[in-house]
Structure 1
């Protein structure tokens, strides 16, 4: 039996943990132990207790609520995540290293966990990336502008990257660990599980990769129960803090559609206040594959697991991105012709008009159906099996190498 440590450091929600859960179950079925080091423990027991997975609090940077410059590249994301502060970064790296010594994993899986990757360079153990691809930038320098709608000079990109690289190498020097040549060397991995389709890759124009397809939970959640009032069915999955939620709810209640909405963590009082004959709200996760197959259209923030579930079912999408990763996904969706989006900065929140256009103009559904046809052979269950087997191979190779 080998031990796998899954590390999640940046990002929000329960999507990170949920995405790796099918792989963890496969690894467990192969006789291996999986331990989760998680940024946010709020949903840990809900997701992991049934399978008896152990979980720990990941070493993370405590938010200080100071305003941050919007990142234009992955190094900018790292800068905002604490890679500009040598003292804080060194402390967190040492905390990760203490965790590694305590857990003694045979394989580290890093899901948007750059500090965990940095800490692992001191250890002779295989490490792999896992996630949508947004967390695994192309291995070039400088790393590209991830806001292509904004003009950012190569000099500006290089300046930020150099600053982050300098801080990173200062930390490595304190730990008697060889420096990085370029920042992309942080991602020296035994394998990189980029879990998306090429068309939805956030860096699709900058790389070719081995794409493993998206992570979609097929069985977890409740069965969708639709309001009996309304014609076309719309499924909505949004966070409760979405700023346009009140306006959206008002417009949906006044619409001619049957709407099922999942808002995690919402209260009974909120549900009672905002529900109607044609709009049902649930705080419980809904089986996403079932909702996607039964509905005519989906609304979400643009998380790749949700987006992929609807596109594989041949359903168009209205995305309401609330952060950069989701905005890039929304633009990819628009480019594919399978949906549209309304940005958080948009002052004219006419959701009903956007939904009407998506439902009435058949080109969006046709494009989504074409996408579904292209990937008709994709199996999320098989993907989890394949990734688990590859993880097992990485651990075997490391064991053979260590003994030789």
Structure 2
């Protein structure tokens, strides 16, 4: 039996923590002991306590870094999490290593955990990198720009300088521990086993030769069964966050559409729910997505993990991104012909037209069915990852 540390450092929402449950249970079935080091423990008890899986707080960079321009690639995003300050990195490296030593970790699995990957250098423990395509960037120096759809000739010098600055700070921190240096930011993710929890068509950096895509790993059978509105028209599932800048406009567009709308909008104001009663059914709790995707005809979400679930089921989706990673996903998904995309800075008035097209355009449904036919079986991806973890541990 080996102790396996599952490490999550950056990101938000359910995606990372939900991915860890089937991985942890699969490792346990193979005779290993998973221990989770999590960025956010607020949902850990509800998800893991009944399984007896230990969850601990991961070391985090909490101090706000100011005075930086809007980031143009992942390297610059890491500047906001300590990668400009060697002494701060030293503190977090020491904290990660102390936690791993305390639990006796023999394998490190890192999901969007760049400082953990830095701390792992030179330890001699096998390390596996997992995550969606955004969190597992290409091994390219410098790391590619976020806005791949725009010309970046004038930014090449900035990208190179960004890479140099991160390497300088990281190597000063690594030197304090006698760990091998980075040559480029991408070396953080340069380990023998890297698994992208997604599909090539939705890779935010574009499909990569030689990459290992294993599809989404999640819990589609957890949650409440869907209860659709009565009546006629296609079934449309919407996952909407009240913090979305056009939340009210999106609900108005859904209520006006010739469709039966079931929405999960955590924290929706009671007055808003009442205003749309009779046109939109709101679920107070997360839904069983395996049933939702099987029964729905259409989807609407913010271009997070729900996107792949719906496309895997062959359902067209309207995507309403709220941040850069989601924008990158939305543009890749739109390129399949199976999705529509409302830009972050788009006009709220355009939402009604896009929702109406989602409901009425048969070309979207045809493209979605074609996209679904290209997806790998879900179970095989999890099995591949678990097998890789066992191989990384070696015999014994």
* TM-score normalised to structure 1 length: 0.92
Shift, 1:226, TM fit: 0.7
CA distance in 2, matches of 1:34, 1:178: 27
Contact 1:96 1:116 in 2 (8 A): yes
CA distance in 2, matches of 1:274, 1:88: 49
Cα distance per residue 1:251-292 (max 9 Å; x no partner): 32333321111123x267367435411211123111112111
Query: What CA RMSD, in Å, does the superposition of the two structures yield over aligned residues?
Result: 1.9
Q: Residue 162 of structure 1 aligns with which residue?
A: 164
Q: Residue 221 of structure 2 aligns with which residue?
A: 219
CA distance in 2, matches of 1:78, 1:319: 26
CA distance in 2, matches of 1:175, 1:349: 56
Q: Residue 282 of structure 2 aligns with which residue?
A: 281
Shift, 1:185, TM fit: 1.6
Shift, 1:119, TM fit: 0.6
CA distance in 2, matches of 1:232, 1:141: 47
Check if 1:351 corresponds to 2:357.
Answer: no
Shift, 1:104, TM fit: 1.6
Q: 3-state DSSP class of the match of 1:204?
A: coil
CA distance in 2, matches of 1:274, 1:108: 49
- Mapping 1:88-107, distance limit 5 Å: 88-107=88-107
Q: Residue 391 of structure 1 aligns with which residue?
A: 389
CA distance in 2, matches of 1:52, 1:239: 31
CA distance in 2, matches of 1:280, 1:214: 27
Q: Residue 262 of structure 2 aligns with which residue?
A: 260
Shift, 1:220, TM fit: 0.8
Contact 1:249 1:274 in 2 (8 A): no
CA distance in 1, matches of 2:31, 2:271: 44
CA distance in 2, matches of 1:290, 1:67: 47
Change in 2 beyond 3 A, CA 1:336/1:101: same
Q: Residue 292 of structure 2 aligns with which residue?
A: 291
The number of aligned residues is: 394
Q: 3-state DSSP class of the match of 2:238?
A: strand
Q: Residue 178 of structure 2 aligns with which residue?
A: 176
Shift, 1:339, TM fit: 0.9
Shift, 1:206, TM fit: 5.3
Shift, 1:177, TM fit: 1.5
Q: Residue 145 of structure 2 aligns with which residue?
A: 145
Q: Residue 2 of structure 1 aligns with which residue?
A: 2
Shift, 1:176, TM fit: 1.9
